[in-house]
Amino acid sequence: MARSLTPSRSAARIGALVGVAAVAVLTLTGCIKVDANVAIASDATASGTFGFELQKDAAGFLGISDLSSFEAAIDEGALTDGEELETFQECVTSESDAGYVYTCSFANASFTNPDDLWQISKNGSNIVFTMTNEGQSAEDAEMTGLLGDAGMGAINVTVEFPGPITSVEGEFAEKTSDTTAKISASMMDTLKVTITSEESSGGGFAVILVVAIAAGVVVLLIVAVILLVMRRRAGTRSPEAAAEPTEAPAGEAPAAEATATDTPPADAPTQPEENA
């Protein structure tokens, strides 16, 4: 089921779902799962998806027995402590074998409200992504302590930046590539993450320039090799080819070749003349 939401709804109110479903943690582990994908543009706006899945067993504690009652709880704000979800343009409910899923999309959205699940700002030529969660209260800690390592569930946020990431601060966050990072934590963890990146890759012109220079060098090398080969061929012509007589122009007699008998040596003896 798809529905359009007003621009004044807040993503951070999903945290209220944890409070509403806290009773379920006494018998369940990981009853809520939150997943988000955020693609940040160079102007500090973002597009992506945000959704949460509520386990069916946990939903029973909230009076939710099927997809219709889950949708009604969303519409009435029962799962968001009376508050509506901000920023999202379209949300869709669905059902899996394990639970009920609520997925929302957003496009070119600004996240500057301190109550948002995350905040995105621009500082000079840098993009700054901040995500905080107060973690569990003393009452929550007492409840989750009954279950040892059990907890309310997990939150996973994948963030794609418009330029290279320059710093990642805080627990539960890791850089997964030059321009992407992932935040993975329990709903009950205290979360203070700040990730900074450049506003753009800035490498497009540099790459083109390097390719152009490389192509120019290759062309120059090819020309140099051709000239060298031509020079060597000109300098290594055979003596026979150099001594080969040239053909006389039409209408002219070819020049007579000199022979050893044409002109006797000056000191050669003369033959006596015979009497007639």
Give the tens place of pLDDT for each residue, 159-203.
999 999 999 999 999 999 999 999 999 877 888 999 999 998 765
Tokens of 198: 């450049």
Q: Are residues 41 and 152 in the same domain?
A: yes
Tokens of 15: 């945290």
Does the residue 143 lie in any domain? yes
Give the tens place of pLDDT for each residue, 233-244.
776 655 555 555
End-to-end CA distance of the chain: 143
Does the residue 107 lie in any domain? yes
Q: Are residues 79 and 167 in the same domain?
A: yes
Q: Return the C-alpha torsion angle 139, 65, 186, 172, nearest 10.
A: -150
Does the residue 272 lie in any domain? no
Does the residue 251 lie in any domain? no
* Bridge partners, 159 (sequence order): 38, 181
What does the pLDDT read at residue 127?
A: 97
Domain of 222 in residue numbering reads as: 202-232
Q: Which residue has the higher pLDDT, 7 or 1?
A: 1
Q: Are residues 133 and 59 in the same domain?
A: yes
What's the CA gap between 69 and 62, in Å, rounded?
Answer: 10
Q: Are residues 211 and 129 in the same domain?
A: no
Q: Are residues 120 and 152 in the same domain?
A: yes
Q: Are residues 134 and 170 in the same domain?
A: yes
Q: What is this structure's pTM?
A: 0.62
* Bridge partners, 180 (sequence order): 160
Residue pair 126/97 in contact (Cβ under 8 Å)? The answer is no
What's the CA gap between 11 and 14, in Å, rounded?
Answer: 6
Q: Which residue has the higher pLDDT, 174 or 267?
A: 174
Last residue of a domain, one of 176, 198, 220: 198
CA angle 239, 242, 247 (to 5 degrees): 140
Q: Are residues 74 and 191 in the same domain?
A: yes
Average pLDDT of the residues of the chain: 74
Does the residue 258 lie in any domain? no
Average pLDDT over every residue of 251-272: 54
Q: Which residue has the higher pLDDT, 71 or 38?
A: 38
DSSP 3-state of 227: helix
Print the SS3 string covering 166-225: EEEECCCEEECCCCEEEEEEECCCCEEEEEEEECCCCCHHHHHHHHHHHHHHHHHHHHHH
Give the tens place of pLDDT for each residue, 96-151.
998 999 998 999 999 998 888 899 999 999 999 999 987 655 555 555 554 444 45
Q: Are residues 206 and 150 in the same domain?
A: no
Tally of domains in the chain? 2
Q: Are residues 51 and 149 in the same domain?
A: yes
Does the residue 265 lie in any domain? no
- The model's confidence at residue 221, banded by pLDDT at 50, 70 and 90, is confident
Cite the DSSP H helix spans in 21-61.
56-61
What's the CA gap between 61 and 64, in Å, rounded?
Answer: 7
Residue pair 132/102 in contact (Cβ under 8 Å)? The answer is no
Is residue 95 scored above 70 in pLDDT?
yes
Stated as kind and residue range, the H or E segment containing 143 is helix 138-145
Q: Are residues 221 and 172 in the same domain?
A: no
Does the residue 249 lie in any domain? no
What phi, psi does 82 have (nearest 5°)?
A: 80, -5
Q: Are residues 163 and 220 in the same domain?
A: no
Q: In percent, how much of the chain has pLDDT > 70?
A: 59
Does the residue 271 lie in any domain? no
Last residue of a domain, one of 198, 219, 245: 198
Q: Are residues 94 and 133 in the same domain?
A: yes
Is residue 36 scored above 90 in pLDDT?
yes
